[in-house]
Each structure stands twice: as structure tokens, then as C-alpha cells.
A and B are shown apart, each in its own frame.
Chain A
Amino acid sequence: MGNGNLTASHFFVTGDPLIYSADAAIILSVLSILFFLTRCHKWGWLWREWITSVDHKKIGIMYMIAAMLMLFRGGVDALLMRTQLALPNLQFLRAQHYDEIFTTHGTIMILFMAMPLMFALFNIVVPLQIGARDVAYPFLNAVSFWLFFFGAMLFNLSFVIGGSPDAGWLAYPPLSETAFSPGPGENFYIWGIQISGIGSLATGINFVATILKMRAPGMKLMRMPLFAWSVLSSSIVIIFAFPVLTITLALLFIDRFAGAHFFGMTGGANPMMYVNLIWMWGHPEVYIVVLPAFGVFSEVVSTFAKKRIFGYKSMVFSMLIISVLSFFTWVHHFFTMGAGADVNAFFAVTTMAIAIPTGVKVFNWLFTLYRGRITMASPMLWTISFIPAFVVGGATGVMLAVAPADYQYHNSYFLIAHFHQVLIGGVVFGYFAGLYYWWPKMFGFQLDERLGKWAFWLWNIGFYVCFMPQYALGFMGMTRRVYTYGWDLGWAPLNFVSTVGAFLMGAGFVFQVWQILYSIRHGRRDLTGDPWNGRTLEWSMPSPAPYYNFAQIPQVKDRDAWWMEKQQMPEEGRGNTAVKYEPIHMPKNSGIPFVMAVFWFIAGFGFTFHWIALGIAGLAGVGMSLLARSFQYKMEYEIPVEEIQRVEASMGRIG
């Protein structure tokens, strides 16, 4: 590659009917989107209202849509794998194709599904919940989104152009070095993650600053809703973990691009250093995605039990302890490396120690539910189902943390079952709970409960049917990443059951899509702004919130500010009639974040194929975009009082 003799069959992935049908599907859907936008004259609307938007609520919605698309892609990968493994000696996928699919499944689910779904909730909820008009850096927020989006697009492009990465979701060397992965797949991996990773790091900075500096007057840290606390602790972990990822990927790329010797087998390089570095980011990463889910559960449990959260302070401290401990566990991913008994013992103990603050949280949720007046709406269903899933997943995690026992479990299906159980049971169920909970706030209507219950039960039954057999398969000696197996091993029945479970979860996802489409037309409109009888500030405003959020910044006197307010307020007249508004300063929309991300995409694509001129041109474009922004001065505008009055009146807030 890079010698200029690149032929079409190198550039486009050829020879696989599955990929040809995907090519056709991609081309058809792109054409139909282009046709629809042109036919309905929506290009201007798309540009003005969405692509150039710096409104955190719209950015949150875009994150959510992109994450759902990626959940679909990652889910299809999962179903392809489970189909291949359903029975022994199947020839559904070739070995190479199987390697590519398990690699993209893992990468997409963690980095392009869980992370953006988390950022969707950050953006939609945090400013409303802390009584702010915006995030600290709205422009940077848009940059973050578009970097994630184009990073994900670059990664997905590898599917049809050049070939997908096949060295596993963390691209361990020496397998990911040029000698063993000569094609562009690993370069797509490096640049896709690098570009979106810069965006994630910026989001971490943005939300730490937002939460520390932009809370409404009177909202002391210890009066802050627990979801905002979870975002703060997760963002702090992002700030400390993501620079390590940036360097690790950069060094791997320098190895591949310039023939350097960081992680290979020659020239004094050290492959184990990569494994250490990537897990120094990778283990904190799982706490980055699970902490906000804990925040969601805390909000949901207290709203739907109509009680204050039990043990607020211990909830806060346990999250902070988890975020610190998360940096002292990374070696448990390679107990079998041969680091010695002392090192393994240290990391075994720190890993098990995380179960303590997590257990504290679970008991606090249970105590909050105890004698509460519980309503079993969708968000609460997902929260309740999280508890047994996470208890089993946590217990098997402690089993894996026992270093000597891990020599048996290492890289077996037991491990696969464990991390799917905590990541689906903890993170995915948590974010679903959050989406169902805040959906009316985003769109002004509720999702249909009947279809939601179908989705819920399919997901939950499928979840156990899929992963419980995998624990047993692990004990029976089945390792991860095997692409087929023989009848003689006796793994067939359990594998078949597991595949059935995976398809049940897939059916659950179909019901969710149906639920959304159905509810757009038939969902109950949320006219109160407070459909769940909520406790925190986001429920004090209409649904969806006006673009400036709060017409007047609220003054907070206690925890659960909106609940306290409702207790003191007479039944009628939530709207304030005789209020005096001040003009509001808002950031102007900007096309620069989108353009800058396109240049990053061009740079990444160029370096992926060793087209250095294109790569440098892309980077130059990024630099020009930054300079263009630096030379902009008047970047704010003022909303006059009359417009605020008009908007508030149209939402029934005044007059």
C-alpha cells in the first residue's frame, strides 16, 4: 500500500455477497435520504437548525440518533457472530470476516454506541438540571459532536472501503503491527477512534467546567442532583484517561506509518507496553460509561418511589471512590502476563475493592424503594431489571478478580458473559432508563408503554438466555474469538440457546424502533412539562425546553429543588404572571465545527491510505478552521425581552 499501485479491488472490499448486499443497502439509503432532502427542500433547514447548531439540547438529540444507528450496526455484527456460532462447523462467515466482525462489534459498541449515548444524556440533561442556560463552551460542544460523528463514519467506512480492522477491539500488537495487518483496516481503527477521542476529551473538559462553574445560585455541590454528580465524576475520569488513549493510538500509528519500534517484536520494542497503556485507558473507560448510568438510576428510583434518595452523601462519595479506584485496576486484564504474585495481588485487591462502593449504591437504591410509593413506568422497569443483572455480573467480576482463578477463566466465554452482563445490564439498561425518563423533556411526548413493555421483556429474557449459557461454556473450555468448533466438544446445545437469546434481544430493539415511530403519532403529549411528577429542575420547565432554557435563572434552596418548590406552591398558577425578564445572551450558530470535522475526516482518510498529501491537506484545513474561529469576535447575540415574553406566553408560562 502507498506505492501508488492501489487497484480497485484493494480499495473496495470485494468477493463477499454479504458485503455486496451491504454496499447496495448503503447506496440505496444514501440516495433516498438525498432525494428526500432535495424533494422536501430540507437542505437549508438541516444546515440552519441542526448542522450549525450549538444548542446543547439539539446536540444531545443528534448524539442519540447517531448512537442508535451505531447500536443497530453493532447489533447486526453480534447477530452475525451468534449465527456463525449457533451450530458446529457452520460456514456462514469466513474466518477473516468473523475476525473483522468481532473487532468492529466491540469497538462500535463501546466507543460509537455507549459513549455517544452517554454524551446524549449529558447534553440533554445536565444544563437543565443545574439551572444553566448552556454548557460552558457551546462551540466546543458542537466540535465534540462532529468529531465523534466523522470519527465513527471513518471507522464504518472501512467496512466497504479498504477492509475492516481484524485485530480485536483493542488492537493488540504485534497483531496490529504492519507485519501482521498490512492493509488499511488498523489505520481506519486508529484514526476513527483518535478523531472521536479528541471530541470525547473535549466533552469531558466541557462538562467539568459546566458543572463546577455554571450551577444556578444556591445550588451547592451537595445540593446537586445525583445525575449531575455522576456526570462530574465520569468527566473527571475522561480527563485523566483519554490522553493515555491518544498517545497509545498515536504511537501505534507511528509504528505502522514510520516503521518505529514501540510495540512490535523488533528493534527493542515491547508489545506488553501497549497492553499496559491501552488498559490504563480501557479499564477507567468502563467506569466512565457506567457512572452516568448509576446517576440515571438514582434519579429514576427517587422519582418513581416518590422519596428522597437514601444516603445521598454516601452515593456521592461512592461515585468519587469508584472514579479514583478505576485507575488502579488495569492489570487485572492480563494477570497471565507474568507480572508476578505481588503485582497481581495488588490489582486483584483493588479490583475487588470496587465492589464495595458499588454495593453501597445498590443498597441505597433498595432502601430508597423500601416503603416508597412505587410507579412501574418504563424507566423504573429498566432500573429494577438492572439490579439482579448487575448483582450477578458484579459477582462474576469478583470471581474473575481472583488472580489465581483467573488463570482458568482468562479469555474464556466466562469473561465474555461477565462483561456483557455488566455492560448491557448496567450501561445499556441504564441509558435506556434515562432515554425513557427524559424522552418527554426532549420531544414533548411520551413513548407508548405497551410496546415498551414488549421491548423490555424481549430484551430481558433474551439477555439471560444469551449470556447465562456462556458462563457454562467458559467452564467447558470454550475461549473467546473462536470462529467455529466441532460436534465432539459438546458446546453445541448451549451455543444454540445463546444464539436464540441474542435474536430475542434483536427483536426487543425492533420493538423499540416501532415504539418510537408509533409514539411520534400516537404518544401522549406532555403539556405539563412534568409528566413523572419529578424532583429536579429540568421538570420545572415546559417540554421541550425553549432554546434559552430558563427565562429566569432559578434560585435553589435545597436538594430536589423542584419537588420542594411544588410542596410550597398553591395548586394553580405555576406560571409566574408578574415577572420581569432581562435580555439573554446566547451563542451564535456556527458552521466551523462541521467543516473542521470534515477536514479531520479527510486527514484521517489520507493517512489511512498513506496518501500523505491528502492527509496534510486535511490537517491544514483543521488549522485554518481553528484560525478562522480565532479571528471571529462577535459570537453572541441578544434575545430581546419581547421575544422571551412571546415564547413564554406561547408555552403557557405567562399571561
Chain B
Amino acid sequence: MQHAEASHEQIGHLDHEALKVFGFWIFLVTDCLLFGTLFGVFVVLRSHTDGGPTGKELFEIPGFVAETFILLTSSFTSGIATLAMNQGNIKRVIGWLIVTALLGLAFVGLEVSEFTKMAMEGATISRSAFLSSFFTLVGTHGLHVSIGLVWMTALMIQLRRHGMNAVTRRKMTIIGLYWHFLDAVWIFLFTVVYLMGVM
């Protein structure tokens, strides 16, 4: 057993940030499976309306199309924030993060009003198996977006406080991954839940 050269030790700290990004990728695998399970449940139960309202009666096309455009745009603006990070322009990073967070907030707002409207019409989570699985699947995504908003706000404060360094860069990378992931999940929600629902 000879011993590792000093260079291995010196890069130790940088390695550590990369290691955390790697771990986050594995976390995203588990989150994919989590949503995959919920999609499985939804697909099985989507026709189990128990005589209650169906997706075709409930879903309003302008509403979910607007949600889609808003969330896709926010994914784009979070990408611009990452580009600004690579250019080292912290003001632009924070600016684009604010735009992203506002779009995310608008998305959550639309979703809450959609849920409220449905509940007012009697289409609640306890009405039928279809609605139970609808609210749980879409709501889990909405919860993820909401947690992302709190997280993004915390990151903006930290960027202001510490500026650009290895740690804040890693945190930016991770939240970027998270946000794009939520966008990808929404594409499936848009297709499987809403488009197939109104067809």
C-alpha cells in the first residue's frame, strides 16, 4: 500500500461539491419512481369515476394550457440564470431567479384556483377514485413546485450574502436540475392527465 499523492488530497474540496450534485441525480431517480408510481395509480383509476364528473367535464383547456406555458417559460428563465452564473454576473443571476420564482408562483396560483373551483363544484378528493388520484398526482407536483419556490428564495438570499463560490454554484446547479425535472414531469401530466382527459 503506497499512499495517494498529495494532489488527490488537494482537489478533495472541489470533489465534494461534484459529489453532492451526483447524489442529487440519484435523488432525482427516486423522485422519478415516486411520480411513476403515482402515474401508474392514476392510469388505473382514471376511468373509475363512480358516476361522478369526468376529466372531460372538469378540465378547462385555457387554464391548463396557460399553466403549461408559464411553467415551460420558467424552466427557460432558470436556464438563463445558469448561463448568467457561468458569466459570473451575480445581479443577472438573481434577477432571472426572481423571474423564475414569480412564474412558479403564478403557476401555483393557477393550480390552487383550479383545485378550488373543482372542489366548489363538488368534485372533491373524496368524490371518486378518479378524483382521488387526480388531486394526489397533480397536487404532489404542485407541492414540489412550492417547495422549490421556498428553496429558490433561500438560495437568492445566500447568493446575495456569499456571492459566487463553489458552494453557491453547486446549489444553483442543483436547483436548476430540480426545476427542469419538475418541468419534465409536467409534460407528462399535461399529456396523460389533461390532454387524454379532455379527449
Contact = CB atoms under 8 A, between A and B. Distances in A.
Interface string A210-224: 001110110000000
B128 A554 contact: no
A201 B29 CA distance: 11
B4 A555 contact: yes
A585 B15 CA distance: 13
Nearest to A206: B23
Interface string B19-33: 110110011011101
A205 B23 contact: yes
B193 to A, nearest CB: 16
Contact of A254 (B44, B49, B125): B125
A631 B125 CA distance: 37
Interface stretch (B83-91, B103-111, B130-138): B130-138
Given A209-B23, A251-B41, A259 B126 contact: yes
B26 A208 contact: yes
Contact of A268 (B13, B20, B50): B50
B158 A631 contact: yes
B127 interface: yes
A419 to B, nearest CB: 25
Contact of B126 (A206, A267, A582): A267
Chain A interface size, as a band, is 35 or more
A251 B40 CA distance: 13
B116 to A, nearest CB: 16
Contacts of B136: 250-251, 254, 260, 262
A556 B22 CA distance: 24
A35 B29 CA distance: 47
B6 interface: yes
B3 A268 contact: no
A554 B3 contact: yes
Interface string A609-642: 0000000000000010001001101000000000
B120 interface: no
Interface in B19-71: 19-20, 22-23, 26-27, 29-31, 33-34, 36-38, 41, 44-45, 48-50
Nearest to A260: B132
Nearest to B37: A247
Contacts of A519: none
Given A216-B4, A277-B37, A555-B2, A205 B126 contact: no
Given A579-B3, A627-B150, 16 more contacts: A205-B23, A239-B30, A244-B37, A246-B34, A250-B136, A255-B132, A258-B126, A268-B45, A268-B49, A268-B129, A269-B45, A269-B48, A270-B48, A277-B41, A555-B3, A633-B162
Ranked nearest first, the 6 interchain pairs of A and B with the lowest CB-CB distance are A268-B48, A268-B129, A260-B132, A259-B126, A243-B33, A268-B50
